[in-house]
Structure 1
Amino acid sequence: MADYVIKTNQLSKIYSKNKVVNSVNMHVERGKIYGLLGKNGAGKTTTMCMLLNLTYPSSGEIFLFGKNPKKHSDEIYSKIGSIIETPGFYENLTAYENLKIISKIRGDFDPYTINSVLKMVNLDQHGSKQFKDFSLGMKQRLGIAAAIMHSPELLILDEPINGLDPFGIKEIRDLLKRLSREFGITILISSHILSEIENIADVIGFMDDGVLIEEISKEDLHDRLNKFVEFEVSDIDLALNIFKVLELKENEDFTVSGSTIYLYTHLSLRDKFNALFVNAGIDVGKVNLCEENLEEFFTRFVSNN
């Protein structure tokens, strides 16, 4: 039986008669990275705010670590770290000094712990640098350091890679994977950057217009991505005549763009099709077996639901 750190039942939120989260049934398994994927305005942040008790559900149930947070608030939320919106720190203080203030407010100040988390997020080499001089990636990593300083079991992160350059995105990606794999932290991360969710998540929840359409494991996702064969040919008209003789239908079995044919059916016969082209005197510059990316899948998936 699955051990769910987060489970919701028909979770909904209504603002001024507008249902921004609509009957969401979410299942986040312990030790996994769960990517909540959706366009801006899909309801991701509102869902996370309800999980963190920052806003109240209009209806539905939330269970965290198998318990009702209304009845076990102190126990549950002490085991959660989060970043919702941009973390706020003192501009003229160093990373250590900022974390020291946070830990003293919590009542758990420990220099060893602070130095350990700074090393974990690769900020231990910037001891004298003030926060105002940090790159955006460094600021996000400090936010994560603050969120994990009390050794949480669950990390909830809303758009932590938004606005980062490719190097900063890689830093955050590698850090989150390490937190999950080495320290067993369960991570719920939202993003509208599809490629990054695909790179990091074990399970992806597809959200659109307040609805959690489906939760798909990465393994199942790749089985469901459309595959196709790309033929780049020297004589497109002759190649299409061959397809017509074989009774392949345009827009059903294949599509055409310039001198390239995209075949979506009979993929196992691609070598035979290639041989037919060559025997007909057609030069074949490219034969590729391809797979749609997550963005293409998401667009198709949402439009069909």
Structure 2
Amino acid sequence: MADQSFVTLATNDSYVKGALVLGSSLRNHRTSKRLTILITPHVSDPMRKVLEKIFDEVKLVNVLDSGDAAHLALLKRPELGVTLTKLHCWELTQYSKCVFMDADTMVLSNVDELFEREELSAAPDPGWPDCFNSGVFVYRPSIETFNQLLQLATEKGSFDGGDQGLLNTFFSNWATTDISKHLPFIYNLSSISIYSYLPAFKVFGTDAKVVHFLGRMKPWNYSYDSKTKSVKDTQDPTMAHPEFLNMWWNTFVTNVLPLLQQHGAIKDTATGVKAEEVTEAVSHMSISSPAQSNPPPSPPPMSSEERKERWEQGQADYMGLDSFDNIKKKLDTYLQ
């Protein structure tokens, strides 16, 4: 339908890779809805051209340079930059209803039935089920709602520093009022929840319709072996189900990589390189620049105080120090 759209957001070229896979997965599963992406000026021109091949509308939003209410809100709450950018999805009033999906999600089947739901429909968050996860939600664009959200952001900020805390404060009756607005978890299956409740995943996982690659490590950060058609080095405990990662990469190699090469969004130092041979380097390659021989420097070690603060803000390092295996080891030492 022309007045309904899936919407996503990319704030840089890395997340564009995720958005392109999301858009391709929606197309591959024959969605009848339009596809819209919000981007910031940090997205390079070659990447914008590739986005235009998959999305019906590529809309530039910039809360930093605009003289609108979002800009004024940002002056008071500079920490909410990306959050305020995401709120622009409520300005897409050419659509009567939209489904927002984060760029690190991927659909596994047609999910057009989500448009039968009402605002604000979302799935529970695996970390705090009385809150919804804002990676997938059904909403109705409205300038009035947009302005009310900006006002709340300015006055109260967000309890988790991001859009999820803000939206849960605004739609605070989600947990208690209307069960029809609770999306089944299969519409936002997080990679973290797979290993934290593996028995449930074994029973219900085959019904999953949307997978959400939560956490620090995104699919595009892994290395991919094009010969075995699988992701390498999946020792990460959160990747209890590497099939999803392999599906992401298969979509990337088949649908996205040829477009990136065609539009010069990936420049490799070698000439005449086959698409299959490039995939191995893509995840560690700087988009729109030659492949770098030196790996990126490791982040500096985090102090225990800093780590504690992250935990309290709901930003545990599920992929590293705070992984399930590490927590289990620590508990085992106490129990012994």
Q: TM-score, normalised by structure 1?
A: 0.23
Higher strand share: 1
Query: How high is the TM-score relative to the length of structure 2?
Result: 0.22
Higher helix share: 2
Task: Compare relative contact order (CA 8 Å, sep 6+) and give the higher one, 1 or 2.
Answer: 1
Larger Rg: 1
